[in-house]
Amino acid sequence: MGRICQSPAGWRLQSRAMRSLALVALLAAAPALPGQQNWVQNPENGHWYAVTPAMDWASAERTAVDWGGHLATVRSAAENAWIYEQFCQDSIGGVWIGLNDRAVNGVFAWSSGELATFQAWDEANQHNTAPEESCVHIQGAHHEERYRGKWNDLAENGGWLGGLPGLVEVRENPDTDADGLLDRHEARYGAIVGERDTDGDGLSDGEEVHFFPSWDVAWEMGWEEALGAGHKMPGPAIWSTAGELLGFYPRLVEGMPPHLNPSLADTDGDGLLDGVECGRGPDGERIVDPYTQLTHPLDPDTDGDGLPDGVEDRNGNGRHDLPDETSAVNPDSDGDGLSDGLERGSAAFDRDPLTVTDPNRADSDGGGLPDQAEDFNGDGAIQLGETDPNDPSDDRLRVHLQRDPTTGGVTLGVHGLRRGAWVRVYLAEPAADPEARSTSGNPLALGNGVVLELSGTPLEIWQGLARRDALHLRILTPASQGALQLQVVEIFPNGSTRSSPAIGMPPL
């Protein structure tokens, strides 16, 4: 039975181990993902060692065989001490080794087939013959001091620990090109032994195969830490503070493989190299500056705006740095309410792809109305009652005033109204001086940044629904009020507005 210190730090490590076990369960149909394989050579025996994610003993042994070896065999006190120092310092339960009595209870043998000539049991577990405890681990630094580095047998599933990392031992260098992908696995993924980056995309072969999806890293590294590591979010890549690619926030895309292709420089076919999408330059260097945008290397349209990432980042450098480029991580680069793809005529729902606007300019025609206010229903076509986003002349209402000398009243004609909009008519007497204007409450903001141009205190004299494209009102005003100004404002259901210029009342 094991003795595990239940310190706060220990509990955190237990949580990590259990989450790693969950990762293995998710990927049970494929060989276990090793994460970052940090192979270490023992200078005494020349063998190479690495640890698996936390899992049950049998799964760890299968993974070890897949990696070209077995769970570690310990032949001497020197080897045992070296293993403890290298691999057991940060693990709550230590690591699985190959010793077990699964075949015959009480008869311990190495999974490698070597003879058991050395043993290092702790005092309480020597010759433990409990049938449910058949797999041996080296106890880690989180045990009581007298048990550290000693052997203990556990149930095959690791008991309450939920699994342990397995210590894998191989006799020859398993990764001769140091790309993070075992030589024996390179052909499996179309990679080439001797080439660290087979497809030349800036990511090593191992990074492409093993680091997507990296669920446990995504769980443990929060947004704040990711931002502190130099991210410009949103983006799926996760970097260490040392500039190493740790993994991706898990977001699998329909029709895409579960990992990058080390033999294909642009796995998702969007026109950007996989490395560029993860923030790497052509030589593998990390790119971090205010213009860097981390796109999804397995999603050809990261922001879902209808434009492939490579079209938005047209110079393919992973940065939003050209005036005519759109953001590949923001579907509405200019914030006008229309997606970049719709503005460029590439959206699937665009009813008129030939009518395009500038996705980097909220008011393409400069007439005063944002593009979305002109393309009111956002379908890319100019419909009845909508204005042309490429014609500035229709961005303002056309107002005509004519005074009746007999009654002293005024006939107001408003043309170019959008049916269904709410119309308000304001009247004001010009302020006597500029200071009076500032104290009278003007200018009056009416949503979406539109401001009344009337110089005096505005008075709303009429409001109603525009049922036609023109409106005619009769306004009765005393003849002495010839200096009055009038302005018409149109308010749309989405809150945007359109207004006429402020015009003075015609004289008698």
Ranges assigned E (strand) in 198-239:
237-239
479 in Cβ contact with 444 (< 8 Å): no
pLDDT of residue 34: 39
- What is the CA angle 493-421-349, rounded to 5? 60
For residues 229 and 238, what is the distance between their CA atoms, to the nearest angstrom? 8
pLDDT of residue 340: 96
pLDDT of residue 428: 81
Ramachandran area for residue 339 (φ above 0: left; ψ -120 to 50: alpha; else beta): beta
Closest C-alpha to 212, from 268, 271, 269? 268
For residues 385 and 376, what is the distance between their CA atoms, to the nearest angstrom? 9
Q: Which residues contact 357 (CB under 8 A, 6 or more apart)?
A: 338, 343, 364, 371, 375, 389, 390
pLDDT of residue 365: 93
pLDDT of residue 499: 82
Which of helix, strand or coil describes residue 131?
coil
Closest C-alpha to 92, from 143, 156, 153, 150? 143
The secondary structure of 253-306 as a DSSP string is -TTS-SS--TT-SSTT-SSS-HHHHTTB-TTS-B--STTB----TT-SSTT-SS
pLDDT of residue 495: 73
pLDDT of residue 232: 34
pLDDT of residue 127: 56
Take residue 143 and report the two structure tokens written for it: 């045990």
For residues 141 and 365, what is the distance between their CA atoms, to the nearest angstrom? 68
What are the chain's domains? 8-170 (3.10.100.10), 340-393 (no CATH), 396-504 (2.60.40.10)
pLDDT of residue 239: 56
Q: Which residues contact 309 (CB under 8 A, 6 or more apart)?
A: 270, 271, 272, 277, 295, 296, 299, 300, 301, 302, 328
For residues 384 and 401, what is the distance between their CA atoms, to the nearest angstrom? 26
The stretches in the chain having pLDDT less than 70 are 1-37, 125-129, 160-161, 211-254, 282, 284, 287-290, 384-385, 408, 430-451, 455, 477-482, 507-508
